[in-house]
């Protein structure tokens, strides 16, 4: 395992399999390292894309961050290599695929499953924050499952080292905290807000501030217009946790430590993640 990251890799070392999906800036393929028959996910990023968006330094920084992250709920980046026009990321392959599909298939998750995912995410985020990394893009499509159904945070397309003032508005607003929607300086507490969004979505099958238009979603986020449908029935403890994360004042959101000690998590989360 150790030497695996150090050696120089090239495309010849891999047999390329089926496409796994389109991530940011590139496609991802199932691949097998020829000698060891080790299965990985190979992400192909086109250099002209990196140059065009001038995020060469960001990708470099990102790769340094990534290779230093070691946590059971964070997808591994084993290494990378490049040829003239492409950069290849050698990623851990999550055999369970995207958590999003499981959520869509089931509609919504049991309180035990939801609490287990939230506990895994909280653990992974506490680890990232220790390393001064804010993920900032935790949404269901960036969450993968391993062969045992364990959660893996994947796409770190926009993780940054410590604070950052700017974020490019891409994709849905549903997961953005008020301070991000207002494009204010923000800090780690954005992840706590996102945990509240995800907990709600795991239990009800849709994010809490969903609306017809982005403008209405924006308004609902800024108002923290949080309502709990009567169906599916959800425990008072779960609603309590969500209500203590979806708080506009980021300094008043439940800390990661307090989430781990919350009665709903203690009662429902599977300690084996
Ligand atoms: C640690 O995982 C990453 C780390 C970094 C980046 C990345 O692109 N960074 C980046 C790209 C451009 C500019 C700046 C940053 C992306 C990922 N991960 C991914 O893209 C997930 C690929 S999908 C997949 N992966 C494994 N098993 C599956 N079953 C699937 Br489906």
pLDDT per 10-residue tile (average), the chain, 273 residues: 68 96 82 98 91 83 85 94 95 95 96 98 92 75 93 70 41 82 77 95 97 96 98 98 97 97 98 87
Catalytic residue among 13, 137, 216, 249: 137
pTM for the model stands at 0.89
Nearest-angstrom CA–CA distance, 35 and 152: 26
Sheet containing 39-46, strands listed edge to edge, beginning at the edge strand earlier in sequence: 14-23, 26-33, 39-46, 86-92, 77-82
**What Rg do the C-alpha atoms of the chain give, in angstroms?**
19
Is the CB–ligand 1 distance for residue 180 below 6 Å? Answer: no
Q: What backbone torsions phi and psi does residue 145 show, to the nearest 5 degrees?
A: -125, 140
Q: What backbone torsions phi and psi does residue 233 show, to the nearest 5 degrees?
A: -65, 130
Contacts of 55 (CB under 8 A, 6+ apart): none
Going from the Cα of 261 to the center of ligand 1, the distance in angstroms, rounded, reads: 31
Q: Which residue has the CA at smallest separation from atom 14 of ligand 1?
A: 59
* 225's tokens: 């217009």
Among this protein's residues, is 270 annotated catalytic? Answer: no
Going from the Cα of 38 to the center of ligand 1, the distance in angstroms, rounded, reads: 18
């Amino acid at each position: 395992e150790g030497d695996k990251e150090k050696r120089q890799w090239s495309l010849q070392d891999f047999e390329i399999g089926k496409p796994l999906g389109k991530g940011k800036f590139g496609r991802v393929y199932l691949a097998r390292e020829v000698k060891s028959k080790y299965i990985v996910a190979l992400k192909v990023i086109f250099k002209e894309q990196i140059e065009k968006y001038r995020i060469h330094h960001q990708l470099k920084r990102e790769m340094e961050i990534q290779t230093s992250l070691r946590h059971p709920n964070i997808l591994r980046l084993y290494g990378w290599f490049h040829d003239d026009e492409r950069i290849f990321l050698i990623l851990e392959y999550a055999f369970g695929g995207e958590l999003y599909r499981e959520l869509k298939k089931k509609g919504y998750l049991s309180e035990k499953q939801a609490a287990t995912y939230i506990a895994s995410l909280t653990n992974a985020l506490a680890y990232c924050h220790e390393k001064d990394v804010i993920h900032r893009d935790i949404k269901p499509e960036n969450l993968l499952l391993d062969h045992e159904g364990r959660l893996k945070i994947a796409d770190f397309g926009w993780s940054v080292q410590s604070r950052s003032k700017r974020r490019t508005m891409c994709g849905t607003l549903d997961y953005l905290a008020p301070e991000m929607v207002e494009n204010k300086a923000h800090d780690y507490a954005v992840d706590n807000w996102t945990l509240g969004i995800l907990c709600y979505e795991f239990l009800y099958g849709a994010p809490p501030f969903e609306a017809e238009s982005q403008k209405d979603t924006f308004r609902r986020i800024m108002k923290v217009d949080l309502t709990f449908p009567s169906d599916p029935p959800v425990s008072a403890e779960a609603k309590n946790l969500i209500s203590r994360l979806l708080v506009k004042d980021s300094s008043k959101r439940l800390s990661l430590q307090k989430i781990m000690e919350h009665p709903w998590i203690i009662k429902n989360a599977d300690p084996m993640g």
